[in-house]
């Protein structure tokens, strides 16, 4: 990053045709953990999410409810924003494609593409999926037994043949430039499996694509062409620069983005089409795109049309928002697909959070209260230095590589080591022998330092519980990673407070 530039991270903006689901939550929680980790490392961070609010699907959803599209998207934006608040997502901006700042940026960027000579009028014929807001190639279609043509992603929709005269973008002209960029910037598409897929796609050749839609009214007017709007998928991509203040010169305070976090199903848009659009408009390219995997449910892909879903409200209510955050990022690989099951959620909560972490915090603080009057003793807090140092090294390596599930595992190794340290040192026996007073001080001080390390390392995953844990040992909040080494806890008051992770659910609410 250039001096003074924040680390700019974005997620895909969510389409406003329906309420949030588990897939939305997984992406935002993961991106939030990445942002929080960078803040822990001392970086300034600018974290942007938002809503994709134009297109045929939105217009149809509003018509079905007999309200205007704007009323519909306002309601959807509130639903999404409320969930992000509940899940403790720490975004700095929430951009909506119905905002004036976005329309201005999208219009200017398309005009720059036109000025580069990369737009031309043409006709498009093909099967169009409203669910995907995209024309489908023949190899992307399902021929049903009843003779209908369907989309594999939305198999409940019968696709109709559509013919339109649109404005096309010369994507085919950018094949070699894209391949050269991938070669010069091997970290542009991550993880490596996504990079290989994208490179093979581009090597196979690119087709020019439609950048406008004719006859659609709910969208941003296509510059200098009456009766057309900017194609919704292209308009949505532009949100990443419109959130920076583009086309004002000050947009470079944030741009280029340091990380786009997206689902693996839209890598073509973000790793091929989007960089080509930016090349055409003569704008810098984002530094990296991370394509995460899917959350499946009991071995089946989450699908509204197939009735496979996890109710996000039920999942949050089960053990609380931080427990859900931890389970998703601990059990769902951030670089691959993961499988959600209620049994696994319960088991992970009980073993990791209630038994390992919660029990460690409760008995450590209880012993400090009982044996040292509720104040962290001044003995050397070095008993867990080895396990903490090793865990921190693995934690940093994992988090720097964006392997969040491995970062969470490294953090919990500290809890396992600390519980073993309790059994090894037997502080209840040390407390009975006045000759072991110094040894008891060392034991309790070391355990308090272990709790501090856990509060720091788990903060990206469980921000509120980590703050509560820090408060138990006399801190206002978890320190930074750099501040952990010099942290002094001696003399700080401790308190048990409420149980951090109750073993029984309160289903009365």
Q: From CA 304, how far away is CA 282, in angstroms rounded? A: 40
* Contacts (Cβ under 8 Å, ≥6 apart) of 270: 12, 237, 260, 262, 289, 291
Element counts in the chain: helices (H) and strands (E): 20, 18
Instruction: Using CB atoms within 10 Å of the CB of residue 378, give its burial: 0 to 12 exposed, 13 to 18 middle, 19+ buried.
Output: middle
Q: Which residue numbers are catalytic?
A: 21, 24, 129, 132, 151, 154, 301, 304
SS3 label, residue 504: coil
Q: From CA 99, how far away is CA 93, in angstroms rounded? A: 13
Instruction: Using CB atoms within 10 Å of the CB of residue 197, give its burial: 0 to 12 exposed, 13 to 18 middle, 19+ buried.
Output: middle
Neighbours of 180 (CB within 10 A): 10
Instruction: Please give the helix or strand (H or E) that residue 131 lies within, else none.
Output: none
Strand partners, 303: 308
Instruction: Using CB atoms within 10 Å of the CB of residue 498, give its burial: 0 to 12 exposed, 13 to 18 middle, 19+ buried.
Output: exposed
Handedness of CA 302, 308, 312, 317 (dihedral sign): negative
Give the pair of three-digit tokens for residue 186: 């091997």
Give the residue from 446, 359, 398, 353 showing the smallest Cα distance to 34. Answer: 398
């Amino acid at each position: 990053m250039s001096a003074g530039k924040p680390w700019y991270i974005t997620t895909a903006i969510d389409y406003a045709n329906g309420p949030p689901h588990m897939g939305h939550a997984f992406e935002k929680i993961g991106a939030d953990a990445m942002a929080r980790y960078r803040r822990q490392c001392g970086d300034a961070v600018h974290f942007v999410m938002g809503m994709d609010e134009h297109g045929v699907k939105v217009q149809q959803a509003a018509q079905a409810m007999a309200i205007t599209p704007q009323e519909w998207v306002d309601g959807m934006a509130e639903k999404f924003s409320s969930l992000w608040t509940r899940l403790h997502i720490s975004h700095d901006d929430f951009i909506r494609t119905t905002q004036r700042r976005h329309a201005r940026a999208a219009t200017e960027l398309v005009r720059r593409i036109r000025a580069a000579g990369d737009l031309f009028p043409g006709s498009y014929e093909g099967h169009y999926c409203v669910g995907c807001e995209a024309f489908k190639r023949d190899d992307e279609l399902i021929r049903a037994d009843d003779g209908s043509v369907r989309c594999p992603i939305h198999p409940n929709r019968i696709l109709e043949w559509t013919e339109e005269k649109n404005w096309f973008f010369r994507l085919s002209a950018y094949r070699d430039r894209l391949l050269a960029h991938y070669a010069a910037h091997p970290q542009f598409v991550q993880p490596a499996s996504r990079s290989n897929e994208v490179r093979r796609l581009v090597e196979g050749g690119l087709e020019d694509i439609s950048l406008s839609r004719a006859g659609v009214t709910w969208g941003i007017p296509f510059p200098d062409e009456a009766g057309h709007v900017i194609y919704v998928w292209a308009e949505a991509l532009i949100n990443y620069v419109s959130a920076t203040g583009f086309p004002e010169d000050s947009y470079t305070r944030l741009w280029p983005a340091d990380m786009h976090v997206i689902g693996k199903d839209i890598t073509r848009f973000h790793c091929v089409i989007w960089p080509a659009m930016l090349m055409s408009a003569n704008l810098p390219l984002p530094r990296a795109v991370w394509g995460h995997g899917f959350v499946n449910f009991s071995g089946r892909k989450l699908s509204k049309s197939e009735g496979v879903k996890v109710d996000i409200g039920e999942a949050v209510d089960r053990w609380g928002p931080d427990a859900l955050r931890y389970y998703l990022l601990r059990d769902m690989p951030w670089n691959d697909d993961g499988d959600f099951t209620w049994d696994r959620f319960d088991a992970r909560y009980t073993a990791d959070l209630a038994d390992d972490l919660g029990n460690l915090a409760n008995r450590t603080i209880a012993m400090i209260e009982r044996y040292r009057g509720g104040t962290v003793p001044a003995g050397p807090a070095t008993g867990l230095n080895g396990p903490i140092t090793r865990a921190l090294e693995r934690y940093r390596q994992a988090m720097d590589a964006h392997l969040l599930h491995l970062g969470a595992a490294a953090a919990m190794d500290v809890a396992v080591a600390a519980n073993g340290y309790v059994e090894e040192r037997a502080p209840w026996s040390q407390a009975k022998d006045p000759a072991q007073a110094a040894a008891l001080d060392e034991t309790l001080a070391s355990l308090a330092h272990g709790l501090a390390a856990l509060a720091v390392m788990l903060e990206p995953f469980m921000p509120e519980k980590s703050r509560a844990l820090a408060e138990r040992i006399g801190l206002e909040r978890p320190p930074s990673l750099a501040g952990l080494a010099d942290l002094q806890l001696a003399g700080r008051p401790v308190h048990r407070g409420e149980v951090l992770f109750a073993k029984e659910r309160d289903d009365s609410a």
